Amino acid sequence: MLTILRLHLIFLSTYIIYKMNKSNSNLLVLGRRKFLSKVSLAAAIGFLGTSRIKGAISEENSRDLDQSLGTMPSIMLGQHRISRLICGSNPILGYSYLGQHTDRHMKDYYTTERIVELLQKCEQSGISAHQSSSRQDYMNMLRKHGSKIKLITLTSNRDNIDSDIDNASPIALVHHGGVTDRLFAEGKSDVVHDYVKAVKDRGIMAGVSAHNPDIIKKIADDGWEVDFFMTCFYYLTRKMDKPETLPTLPVGAYHFLRDDPKVMTSVIRQVKQPCLAFKIFGAGRLCSSQEDVMGAFKFAFENIKPTDGIIVGMFPWYFDEISANARYVMEYGLN
């Protein structure tokens, strides 16, 4: 009976793929010989997602399939080996950069249980690190479920360093990018430097995040004892004299300028420390199709160092973004 059910699923999934391609749907068109050769089972898991066909294909079989598609590339962060793909936290926090409606949808979706489910699926797909932030309610449940995922926690308050370490047991703390940009603009870079020193005094790695590429370059040139950087592809905190003169309408308070990634990746290639690039999709603006998503991954990996990684927030409400993203990194991130 189980075999017949699986055959029905294979037929149904293949037919769905055919219809999606014929209608030029933007759901999940991978278009790679390596994946299509395994379409019989991958369609059921990767396209529909295990949550959509519970009881038909086990999580164990899903893990076996993910492993058969390739090996997740990794990098060294200090003494820790982590996947080049790191699960971000903005969707978990309800930060879409696409307006209040999407923010609210993300917040409503990401219950504590769903966050744990997300990170467990990440581990099954070979993603071994998570960039966490201010939300801590899922940490205990995550560890109770046996998760070994390595945490890189984004904070900014020097007074809370001890509690941040106690709450999440991260491998590193990173000074928050928006706060970094503001403090540098105010001439208070010493506050960021003191944070880095305090984190290092606790015996864990210290990083600095920034949206302004000039800050990354200055910290590197000045020889700060940072272990790595978090580098935003878009300089979102730049001050504009007349933003209303731009030829495009803003989405919220942020402007994503097309050439910004070229500027930041140039700096990334110049600094010796590992960099964890984020917002490689322009906060969803390069996600209109899976071809666009693949193109963003390809650009990122072709323009950062082999010792660098990328942070991607995931929102698998529509389809299995986790498996899709893992496959793209397996293809483009092996350099």
Return phi, psi of residue 208, to 5°: -130, 130
Q: What is the pLDDT of residues 180-202, one digit of tens each?
A: 999 999 999 999 999 999 999 99
pLDDT value at position 106? 94
**Do strands 228-232 and 309-312 pair parallel, antiparallel, or not at all (unpaired)?**
unpaired
Helix axes 177-185, 189-201, angle to 10 degrees: 140
Asked if residues 112 and 141 have their Cβ atoms less than 8 Å apart, the reply is: yes
The mean pLDDT value for 254-262 works out to 91
Q: What is the pLDDT of residues 269-294, one digit of tens each?
A: 999 999 999 999 999 999 999 999 99
Per-residue pLDDT band for 58 (boundaries 50, 70, 90) equals very low
Q: Is the pTM of this model over 0.85?
A: no
Per-residue pLDDT band for 22 (boundaries 50, 70, 90) equals very low
Q: What is the pLDDT of residues 205-252, one digit of tens each?
A: 999 999 999 999 999 999 999 999 999 999 999 887 677 777 777 776
Higher pLDDT, 49 or 103: 103
Encoded tokens for 13: 């999934």
